[in-house]
Amino acid sequence: MTRYKVFTLLSLFCLSTCLCFGQRRKSKKETTRAIVQYEDGSVFIGQIIYEGALDMKMVLTTQDTITLNKVYIKRIRRTDKNISLYNGAKFHYTKGLFYSLQFGGGFADEGDNETGQIEAIIGYRISKKLAAGIGFGNSYNSTFSFGTWIDANAVPVFAYGRYYPLDKKVKPFVAGKLGWAFPDQDSFNGDHQGGLLIQPEIGVNFASRRRMRFLITLGQQIQNIRGENLDFDAFGNRIESKYSLWFNRTVLKIGFEWK
């Protein structure tokens, strides 16, 4: 991995972590809603109206008021009303901001070709089914074309959309990216221009007891890169070529998502 890729990875991770931390502090101040899990597996959801050293009082979603003994409490998760709850006190958020960091590799059309992606997304959950946002990152594609190797390192900037057809603990979704891939000129030998980026995806989002959750996506990257390439053969002779390439690669990614 080049120095540039390491720097990009660290920058994206720091950005997502800082944004997540800021949102988490804000959420704690704004709500007293909580999910309380007892040692015996019982789960209580509602509004905390009193909390002492030994007990706490809640108004449940059923409008009943109960007093809970803290001796029997296994976990308290303070959250807001925009959640879908599942067995084991795991949940999905249904509205609000989210921050995502994803990375993975591709299945190239030929054995020696390579593909890689890392990206950060800032989005908003509009409803249980819809989310939208913007993103940026780093992508890498290599191919042997026009008698020379072309290494296309680019910085994509894109609009992002996601649709959840089902409300499940393991929540499937379809998603898509549409944007422009700007070339990283330092990684090329020659003069290069960016191009259109289209990437439809399918994936699953796993419910969690915490603000962070795990997701897996499988997408088809369609990206245009064009320009002039400079290379040298085994005898030191210059090889110059003009090209316009459409990379069409399948990409498998794993990622983390924060509220």
To the nearest whole percent, how much of the chain has pLDDT over 70?
Answer: 78
Is the pLDDT at 67 greater than 90, yes or no? yes
155 has pLDDT over 50: yes
Dihedral sign for Cα atoms in the order 248, 253, 255, 259: positive
Closest C-alpha among 43, 130, 128, 135 to residue 88? 43
pLDDT, tens digit (0-9, with 9 covering 90-100), for 182-217: 887 655 555 677 889 999 999 999 998 888 999 999
Residue matched to tokens 């804000």: 26
Locate 216 and state its tokens.
Answer: 């897996």
Residue 102 has a pLDDT of 96
Q: Is 89 helix (H, G, I), strand (E, B) or coil?
A: helix
Q: Nearest Cα to 119, choosing from 189, 172, 175?
A: 175
Q: What is the mean pLDDT of residues 55-65?
A: 87
84 beta partners: 92
| DSSP tag of 31 | -
Query: What integer pLDDT is reported at residue 103 of this predicted model?
Result: 94
CB within 8 A of 199, min separation 6: which ones? 158, 176, 177, 219, 220, 221, 222, 223, 251
Q: Are 34 and 73 in contact (CB under 8 A)?
A: no
pLDDT above 90: residue 176: yes
pLDDT at 24: 45
- What's the pLDDT at 226? 81
Asked whether the predicted pLDDT for residue 12 surpasses 70, the reply is no
d(CA 98, CA 19): 9
Write out the two tokens for 144.
């042997």
- Going from the N-terminus, what domains does the chain have, and what CATH number goes with each? 95-258 (2.40.160.20)
The stretch 140-151 carries a mean pLDDT of 74
pLDDT recorded at residue 250: 92
For tokens 């990622």, the residue is 255
55-60 and 65-69 beta bridge pairing = antiparallel
Mean pLDDT, residues 78-83 taken together:
74
